[in-house]
Amino acid sequence: MENLFRVIPACDWEKALVTGRVPRCASDERAGHVHLSERSAVEAIANAYFEPAEAPVALEIDRSRIDAELEWSEPTEAKPWRQAHLGMPNILTAHVVRAHPLAVASRDGRDGFVLG
């Protein structure tokens, strides 16, 4: 079972380290669940929704700790990746295996976020 990922701004990760809970974004609040993704989608998500000033961090989540609370949606034209929906109020920092800072790098002549 592969771990899942959640991309958040660095400031939200700092808050989570204090509170023990990763804050929901506005999209999560509207949807009523926490959006998670597979590793292969991290860079696309970061590049679609984040700016360099936010210093996004990809949280690696221990899937075995949350698997019973997951539902999945298939890729769409707008979101060409499978997406996990976590039916819990928040991700707990205890579920986070590692926080991966995303670097800005140039690929094919364009700058974007990369997961190292």
| Phi and psi torsions of 50, nearest 5° | -125, 155
Q: What is the CATH number of the domain that holds 53?
A: 3.20.170.20
Structural domain range at position 17: 4-115
88: its two tokens: 């819990």
pLDDT tens-digit profile, the chain (116 residues): 899 999 999 999 999 999 999 999 998 999 999 999 999 999 999 999 999 999 999 999 999 999 999 999 998 898 888 999 999 999 999 999 999 999 998 877 788 999 97
Q: 97 phi and psi, to 5 degrees?
A: -80, -40
Rounded to whole angstroms, how far apart are CA atoms 7 and 12?
10
Domains in the chain, number? 1
Go through the chain and tell me how many residues it has.
Answer: 116
